[in-house]
């Protein structure tokens, strides 16, 4: 009649058995093929662009004469398809300067494209497809024929695509890129360095007669006089009219930067036997040159939507020297004046400064904004220790004169080497911690060592001859 139910179940079991083994065999083959293909994939390289140096706050370190022009956020840099081993750079900040294109990632790694390696800048494509896609800027650069890495002296070229995914203006950036590339500021720097080298070589060949003219105090004074006369002539030419000032602006920035670097390099190693007056004059000149200005200040025009973030990073780099001179802490009002003086005509508002300082909590910088209980806001190093300052204040109030008459904010400022306003805040902090007591009189605030902890509640009239209380008694009796 036909097959029984037992025979049907046996056939189904055989089909299930072969089906399972067939799937397992196919899966093993596919895995083997996948791993075999994966082994044949070439290793991707991200080192096809030269690395760029960054400051402690994540700002690029500019070379001599380099000025920041514009900035884009959310930028990808994609190499040409003819080099599949080069991996693209994803989601970073692209900074355009007079010398380079600097790409900075969120992980604080930076790469640069020297404009001297750029051979062509393509015009943007206008099509319906381009209207709905992310804006792209295509440039042609010189690369090494062996590995495709960027090389200013390379014999082969490659097209790099800059994909702009952030909410910025790529057309304005492209216009400034054209302007910087055509300006060729890096060639001017090379010409100046080569001319200075040839001048030094010519002076070395001139023999003993040329060298003897600048030996001694008279020679040094004459050399400085020639330098200042040249600087004075440049300033007079620059201030003739507004157009001449704009033309000379770059030259003035480079001149100020060179003099600042020369002064920061320190005195000559030769023994000149300078007196205190000359040392004081040089220190005064060095302080004046340090406040000449920032060579490339961050502006709203160049940074765009990232203005406050980049301003915060530049401010963190700038406050290092003022903090060292102020003992590790400086008031927000003082840094506002110093920072605006350094920025020249690119002044910022107090709101911009406060917002830039508040961003320090979100980024990794060595400084911080602090607000005292009185409402005074200061900038200090993260390594600044209140315990160390309180220990120095405690040692100051335990001196015999301080035990008798107390200390004022001016006394603490002289001992700590800080401003009187900052010293007063530290004294109030010491009072809140129970180290000091405050006396308010027509002469102002005076602070004394806190002796209430030395008094026994069981016998408040007990006069101790040991501890801080005994030291205070001895100081008072010695003054009578």
The angle subtended at Cα 38 by Cα 37 and Cα 43, nearest 5°, is 125
Phi, psi of 93 (to 5 degrees): -100, 130
φ and ψ of 440, to 5 deg: -105, 125
- Contact criterion met (CB below 8 Å) for 116 and 74: no
Domain ranges, residue 260: 214-266+282-296
Q: Is there a single domain that holds both residue 174 and residue 81?
A: yes
**366 in the same domain as 459:** no
Per-residue pLDDT of the chain (480 residues; tens, 9 = 90+): 444 434 434 444 545 444 544 454 545 444 433 333 334 434 455 578 899 999 888 899 888 888 888 899 889 999 888 888 888 899 899 999 999 999 999 888 899 999 999 999 998 877 676 667 888 899 999 988 887 788 888 888 899 999 998 777 888 899 999 999 998 888 876 666 565 555 555 544 444 343 344 456 666 777 777 888 787 777 666 666 555 555 565 566 666 666 666 655 555 444 444 555 555 555 555 555 555 567 778 888 888 888 999 999 999 999 988 888 887 888 899 999 989 988 878 889 999 999 999 999 888 888 999 988 888 899 998 888 888 888 999 889 888 888 888 889 888 888 888 888 888 989 998 998 888 888 888 878 899 888 887 776 776 666 666 667 667 666 666 766
Query: Are 72 and 179 found together in one domain?
Result: yes
Query: 11 and 102 share a domain?
Result: no
Does 337 lie in the same domain as 242? Answer: no
Q: Which residue, of 338, 361, 381, is where some domain finishes?
A: 381
Number of folded domains in the chain? 5
Please report whether residue 48 resides in a domain.
no
Shared domain check, 131 and 33: no
Is 55 inside any structural domain? no
């Amino acid at each position: 009649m036909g097959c029984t139910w037992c025979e049907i179940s046996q056939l189904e079991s055989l089909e299930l058995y072969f089906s399972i083994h067939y799937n397992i065999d196919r899966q093993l083959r596919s895995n083997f093929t996948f791993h075999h293909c994966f082994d044949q994939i070439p290793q991707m390289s991200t080192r096809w662009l030269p690395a760029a140096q960054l400051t402690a706050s994540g700002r690029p370190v500019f070379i001599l004469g380099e000025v920041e022009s514009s900035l884009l956020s959310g930028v990808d840099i994609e190499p040409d398809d003819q080099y599949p081993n080069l991996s693209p750079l994803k989601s970073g900040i692209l900074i355009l300067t007079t010398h380079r294109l600097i790409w900075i990632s969120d992980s604080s790694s930076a790469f640069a494209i020297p404009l001297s390696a750029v051979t062509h800048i393509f015009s943007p494509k206008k099509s319906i497809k381009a209207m709905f896609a992310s804006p792209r800027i295509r440039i042609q650069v010189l690369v090494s024929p062996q590995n495709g890495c960027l090389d200013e002296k390379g014999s082969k070229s490659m097209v790099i695509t800059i994909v702009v995914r952030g909410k910025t203006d790529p057309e304005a950036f492209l216009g400034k890129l054209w302007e910087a590339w055509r300006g060729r500021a890096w060639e001017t720097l090379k010409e100046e360095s080569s001319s200075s080298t040839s001048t030094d070589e010519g002076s070395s060949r001139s023999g003993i007669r040329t060298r003897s003219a600048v030996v001694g105090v008279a020679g040094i004074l004459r050399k400085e006089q020639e330098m200042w006369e040249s600087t004075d002539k440049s300033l007079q030419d620059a201030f003739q009219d507004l157009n001449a000032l704009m033309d000379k602006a770059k030259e003035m920035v480079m001149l100020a930067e060179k003099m600042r670097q020369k002064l920061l390099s320190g005195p000559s190693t030769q023994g000149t036997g300078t007196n205190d007056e000359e040392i004081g004059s040089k220190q005064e000149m060095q302080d004046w040159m340090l406040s000449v200005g920032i060579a490339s200040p961050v502006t709203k025009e160049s940074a765009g939507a990232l203005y406050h973030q980049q301003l915060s990073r530049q401010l963190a780099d700038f406050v290092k020297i003022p903090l060292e001179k102020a003992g590790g802490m400086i008031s927000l009002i003082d840094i506002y004046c110093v920072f605006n003086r350094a920025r020249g005509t690119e002044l910022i508002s107090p709101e911009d400064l406060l917002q830039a300082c508040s961003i320090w909590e979100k980024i990794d910088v060595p400084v911080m904004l602090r607000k005292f209980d009185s409402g005074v806001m200061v900038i200090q190093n993260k390594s600044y220790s209140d315990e160390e300052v309180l220990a120095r204040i405690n040692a100051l109030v335990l001196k015999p004169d301080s035990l008798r008459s107390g200390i004022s904010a001016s006394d603490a400022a002289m001992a700590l080497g800080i401003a009187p306003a900052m010293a007063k805040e530290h004294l109030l902090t010491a009072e809140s911690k129970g180290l000091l007591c405050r006396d308010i009189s027509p002469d102002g605030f005076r602070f004394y060592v806190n002796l209430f902890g030395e008094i026994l509640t069981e016998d408040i009239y007990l006069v101790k001859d040991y501890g801080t209380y005994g030291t205070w008694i001895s100081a008072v009796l010695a003054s009578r």
